[in-house]
């Protein structure tokens, strides 16, 4: 089954908001065996919405339209569908009561514009809005199914999960299982990864393998179609095992995982706590870690020690170490990691020192990086040489630190 998603909203065309609904719906539809072939964005214009409906109906079995179901003059999505197929708009009693109750609870009377949110095209099945007022609907014309959903992401997601998802699941004879799994790799380039799994990519038709280059990392998206979910999952497991024979040492996570979320996960699993000490990255490592929900359970704190004086005062880095080896050195990284672990009484301390650029420092070129990792029983330091401008080096340094910490967790 082929589908097109039409997003209605002039604010989308003007770039005032992002079309996060399209991304969400594409992911959800794959679970029902629906192939999304096209995304269209159209402004709040009745004629243009009708034209988008006409074009989509000719090429797709399913058309999902988001937005344009609200109470304002430019919310004309339902009108466009009704006019296109010469249908009447009628009130859904449950949705109308929902609108009436909403305003009565606030000692207000709903206007006719407010009541419009309870209108649907005659002959459609209505989807209840559990977090808003505008009802959704599904209407089938000849061989094309139209699904209309509200534009606000919270309303759309709730309606999809509570109304649309069960509706699609009931269409067992029409929808096969289409499952995807994203494998996330760090420490290997896109071309190198593709070369290792080239034969698998070429030979596979089900599951398919799609390489995707990301920021500083590479992903492989595995997609399988099957009428049975367990069989589909087994095929994904088998293909992942084959891929890992060639590049498993670079695999760090799946789907929505990030290096930062995996660090938090591994620290939690071991029952440890973590502290960070940063020089060239200026707090980016600590910030990235605390962006992850649940980080407070394991992250003790961090120190930004940009100057030699702050390294001595906050982390007890020996003045002799700085004088003999400099701040950009293995010795300094080791003492920084030990110092921050001691200061915050954490199980693991990790440090970053190096040269972000654009100029050399202490005889080291931009991109020189030392990562210190301190445990109660041992300390390790890794030297890396990164490329790019100042911000790229700082961004990659933070990810390198996480990658090496994960390698420590693996016992590599």
- Residue 213 has what pLDDT? 78
Sign of the alpha-carbon torsion through 231, 233, 236, 242: negative
Tell me the domain boundaries of the chain: 2-169, 177-254, 259-410
294 class by beta-carbon count within 10 Å (0-12 exposed, 13-18 middle, 19+ buried)? exposed
> 345 and 374 in contact (C-beta within 8 Å)?
no
pTM, entire model:
0.72
- Residue 226 has what pLDDT? 83
Q: What is the pLDDT of residues 369-408, one digit of tens each?
A: 999 999 999 999 999 999 999 999 999 999 999 999 999 8
- Which DSSP symbol is given to 124? P
CA distance 66 to 76: 11
- Classify domain 177-254 at the CATH topology level: Alpha-Beta Plaits (3.30.70)
The rounded radius of gyration (Å) of the Cα atoms in the chain is: 27
Quickly state the pLDDT bin for 168 (edges 50, 70, 90): confident
Q: What is the pLDDT of residues 60-106, one digit of tens each?
A: 999 999 999 999 999 999 999 999 999 999 999 999 999 999 999 99
CA distance 412 to 400: 15
> 66 and 154 in contact (C-beta within 8 Å)?
no
- Lowest mean pLDDT segment, chosen from 24-38, 167-181, 214-228, 313-327: 167-181
- Residue 215 has what pLDDT? 84
259-410 belongs to which homologous superfamily?
CinA-like (3.90.950.20)
Task: Tell me the pLDDT of the chain averaged across its residues.
Answer: 94
Side-chain-side CA neighbours of 47 within 13 Å: the count stands at 0
2-169 belongs to which homologous superfamily?
MoaB/Mog-like domain (3.40.980.10)
CA 43 vs CA 13, 66, 147, 150: distances in Å:
7, 12, 18, 15
pLDDT surpasses 60 at 335: yes
Classify 363 as helix, strand or coil: coil
Q: What is the pLDDT of residues 189-211, one digit of tens each?
A: 989 999 999 999 988 888 989 88
DSSP E strand boundaries for 60-207: 62-66, 89-91, 119-121, 125-127, 136-141, 144-149, 177-185
């Amino acid at each position: 089954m082929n589908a097109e998603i039409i997003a209605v909203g002039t604010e989308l065309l003007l770039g005032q908001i992002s079309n996060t609904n399209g991304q969400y719906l594409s992911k959800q539809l794959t679970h029902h065996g629906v192939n999304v072939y096209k995304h269209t964005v159209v402004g709040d214009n009745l004629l243009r919405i009708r034209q988008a409906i006409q074009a989509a109906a000719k090429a797709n079995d399913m058309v999902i339209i988001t937005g344009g179901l609200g109470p304002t003059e430019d919310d004309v999505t339902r009108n466009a569908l009704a006019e296109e197929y010469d249908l009447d708009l009628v009130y859904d009693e449950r949705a109308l009561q929902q609108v009436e109750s909403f305003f009565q609870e606030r000692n207000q009377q709903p206007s006719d514009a407010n009541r419009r949110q309870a209108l649907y095209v005659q002959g459609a099945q209505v989807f209840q809005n559990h977090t808003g007022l505008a009802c959704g609907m599904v209407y089938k014309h000849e061989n094309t199914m139209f699904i209309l959903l509200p534009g606000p992401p919270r309303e759309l997601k709730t309606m999809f999960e509570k109304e649309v998802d069960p509706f699609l699941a009931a269409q067992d004879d029409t929808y096969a299982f289409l499952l995807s799994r994203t494998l996330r790799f760090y420490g290997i380039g896109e071309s190198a990864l593709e070369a290792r799994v080239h034969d698998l990519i070429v030979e596979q038709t089900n599951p398919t393998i799609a390489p995707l280059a990301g920021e500083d990392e590479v992903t492989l998206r595995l997609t399988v179609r099957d009428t049975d979910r367990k069989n589909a999952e087994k095929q994904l497991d088998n293909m992942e095992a084959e891929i890992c024979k060639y590049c498993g040492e670079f695999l760090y996570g799946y789907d929505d995982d990030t290096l930062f979320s995996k660090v938090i996960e591994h620290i939690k699993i071991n029952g440890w706590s973590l502290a960070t000490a940063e020089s060239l990255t200026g707090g980016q490592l600590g910030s990235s870690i605390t962006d992850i929900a649940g980080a407070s359970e394991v992250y003790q704190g961090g120190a930004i020690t940009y100057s030699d004086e702050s390294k001595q005062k906050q982390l007890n880095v020996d003045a002799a170490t700085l004088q003999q080896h400099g701040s950009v050195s293995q010795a300094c990284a080791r003492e920084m990691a030990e110092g921050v672990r001691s200061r915050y009484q954490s199980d693991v301390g990790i440090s970053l020192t190096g040269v972000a650029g654009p100029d050399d420092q202490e005889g080291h070129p931009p991109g020189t990086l030392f990562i210190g990792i301190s445990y109660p029983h041992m300390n390790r330091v890794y030297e890396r040489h990164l490329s790019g401008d100042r911000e790229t080096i700082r961004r990659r340094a933070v990810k390198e630190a996480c990658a090496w910490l994960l390698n420590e967790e693996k016992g590599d």
